[in-house]
Chain A
Amino acid sequence: MSTTLENRIRVYRAEYRMSQADLAEKIGVTRKTISTIEVGRFVPSTIIALKIAYFFNVPVEDIFRLEGDNTPKVTD
């Protein structure tokens, strides 16, 4: 099973009544970048992911999550 990056940007945008263009402007990217991240076509850089998380004031894991990842933890 391949690993995919799931995100909840749309959920947070809905909560704050924001358009993709509004969010893009706030974090310094274009609407197309936000749009392609949301549909999973573009994997954002760590900086963009952190900026989105900072903007919504939540940990980055609340917005981005790895689906189908089998990487073992150090405690395993």
Chain B
Amino acid sequence: MATNRSNNDSPALTIEKFMQRTAWGIFLLAIVHGMGAAEFLVPDNTAEMLAMVGKILGVGVILIVAPGFYQAMKLGGFRKLECDHQEGFVTEMLSKASTMAFSLTFVCLLALKVIAEKYASGLPAAFFLNVALTLSLLSFSISFFVLNRDPGEDDEFSAEDDA
């Protein structure tokens, strides 16, 4: 009964790939915000270089997410895909990663408030916003990658198994 047909174009796999691309995009975005925060701590010439790298990474985010978005549109858009797609493992892990990131962001904001008041009152609000966004996006993407790690190869049953 086994078939060799690939399910590359199935709605489930398209949504899964889109989620994975989004997570990579978010990871890159975290780095961009991290560099945005670092710009306030380094000399001007280094800050300019970081800003330039940040813009290049920003383009990278679009290049990573856009193909997944295009594939989803090609299969009839997200509304149709959601109707065809059952909530699978990756969807669940994305949800768990979001919850973990939210909790960590909340703790991070409380910690940043204390740090800002006591030790770093001279730094602008943009620095703290960038730090908070970096930690939030980084915790989301890393927890998604950890939770979503592949459990292993497919174990196919074939006629040879009978022998």
Q: Which residues of A contact B3 (CB under 8 A)?
A: 22, 25
Q: Contact between A29 and B88 (Cβ–Cβ < 8 Å)? A: yes
Q: Contact between A28 and B84 (Cβ–Cβ < 8 Å)? A: yes
Q: Contact between B90 and A20 (Cβ–Cβ < 8 Å)? A: no
User: In the assembly, what is the distance between CA of A10 and CA of B84, in Å?
Assistant: 25
Q: Contact between A48 and B86 (Cβ–Cβ < 8 Å)? A: yes
Q: Contact between A28 and B86 (Cβ–Cβ < 8 Å)? A: yes
Q: Is the interface of B mostly helix, strand, loop or mixed?
A: loop
User: Does B7 make an interface contact (CB < 8 A)?
Assistant: yes
Q: Contact between B1 and A32 (Cβ–Cβ < 8 Å)? A: no
Binding site for B on A (CB under 8 A): 10, 13-14, 16-22, 24-25, 27-33, 35-37, 39, 41-42, 45, 47-48, 51
Other than the known A29-B85, A51-B86, what 15 A-B pairs have Cβ atoms closer than 8 Å? Answer: A14-B157, A17-B159, A19-B2, A20-B155, A21-B154, A21-B156, A24-B12, A28-B85, A30-B16, A32-B89, A35-B151, A35-B154, A36-B89, A47-B86, A47-B87
9 A-B pairs whose Cβ atoms sit less than 8 Å apart in the complex: A17-B161, A18-B2, A19-B155, A28-B10, A28-B12, A29-B12, A31-B7, A32-B150, A42-B89
Binding site for A on B (CB under 8 A): 1-3, 5, 7, 10-13, 16, 84-90, 92, 150-152, 154-159, 161
